[in-house]
Structure 1
């Protein structure tokens, strides 16, 4: 089976982890701050806080911005559920903004429409979480302009987008956001096995992120509510969590960071090969705009199926022929848990149309030339077969 995503582990990565196993530190040692500093330098941002997952990073990012009961978060419906769950963890309300069908990212037009209505109803969001689907940044400059006008905070969910660029600056520089979150899950651009990172240019936000990831505890005497009792003394000053990254994970992530640009370059080379081939077959991928350099975490095709049964058939048949096709993502509001919250799918027509048209095919740096050829030709053949069926099938 050719997987849709796969980690690339080198001997250098293995040696880095073994070195930690032989050291005095397995948790809370020097590798975590070294990884944080390296990410901050790479992204040209001031502060970075490592966590045990991007989900954890999203959670404490919301809390660090003061999100709580009575507040509302808006995000994209085309994302993994963590992008929405983080709001509910804080006791806030979640809502969605429909997408731009060409890019799959949050639509600025739909966001502005929704903000105008919310302003009239006095129910504006406290936080908006744009999701950089497949590795391409959202139109952050326009979203930031709306944030200034309607007074909301921005968390970039860049779980797919480490190594990407927007307006020739690294995603994660936080020029147009308060916090950016990355994921280092094995299918992402680089991996720490499991792990995440929240980056920011705000020192007070950074302090709270680090406090929240470690039980709400501080050990700096200058931040304590009373004089320190001694070098062993610490204080819990708020309710936090055990969201810390281990030394083992940080060592792997730090080693992988050395190959980040190479990974992204290879992903772009393969994506361009796919683009050329599939365009010639009248097949389209998600549009990457001129102001973006995508990290291509995913390669998503937008195909013209008259019904979802044909889409499902294509994914099943690709898998039967050894290609792990996938679908990113099921609109979050269609999940049973979110259905009970009362979302009306007709309010998000582009997300629903997107869901019925897309197929994710394999894209990762370890793909061989033979695998790339197999993916292209198998997708082409199956789509041609299904297109014939498509023409004879009434539209929904």
Structure 2
């Protein structure tokens, strides 16, 4: 199997318009929670989320006109543009590069704008907006903006989509079907998704507290992250700088419930063990886990049980934290954003702090990041895990 390395990284989040700004804010312990002003939230139990600042700069010249680009496309273009600049791909490579992308809502806000105008009796309902809300439109915007001509795959595995998009790109290179792949995920806040989570009573009215005994819900967020993956031989041949590597990938499905994970974490256990097996590593080799950690009662208990099963006593020597307390749950973008944060942790040897955890779950009480946020990591590979509705689970093992 070919070795897979990362040569480009780009990110936009509620804490910053690029990778390094976001990373510094994460390490500082910042949280982006604030009032939602993208749509009306009156009547909701929760009215806050982690929103990318509205001063977000427009996409680079040469792409579609700004007024025709959805918020989802703008987020994706910013992150993908940073990743491609970072990788400095030759034009012929970029022109043929395959795309493996993920989202859950696409540009749902365009459909919502159209519906609001129609209900208000507007005669100018902007049918173009309705036509551009589907996720394939954002893929087209990316291809047109950067001259990308390779095949495109769009993952929709709920909140595990971002990790599975990276895993699919990893598989393409490992099995020899591609030498270079652009992978990533994007998500913009949308009213239907926000209100849906609020109706499920999944949103916290106070703050997101992953792995805390008193947790009461998640915080939604938005953002995008992209990586350029290459075979090691391809990257060496063109003299590309290496950011990190993808060592293993695992995914599993439990079919336990539409929205609730299996209490024992069976699918997550299978996904983590598969990723470790693919990386040829024992569990105790992992130095840090970027957890899914939504802060909901069902998720965190199941996830903690899975860690206890997979890592056993070694869990006390592994740093674990969920960055959703800082930037929110970005749904289809979560796996991509959190994989980038895990790679940055491996690069710098410093784990993101676990915010707002005052009374840890018993299984997590000894974990380094939950109790000693500033402690330097032992050198070694890291892991990023994600759980999605419908029992879709994914795990990535990453290295410096």
TM-score, normalised with respect to structure 2: 0.25
TM-score, normalised with respect to structure 1: 0.25
Between structure 1 and structure 2, the one with the greater Rg is 1
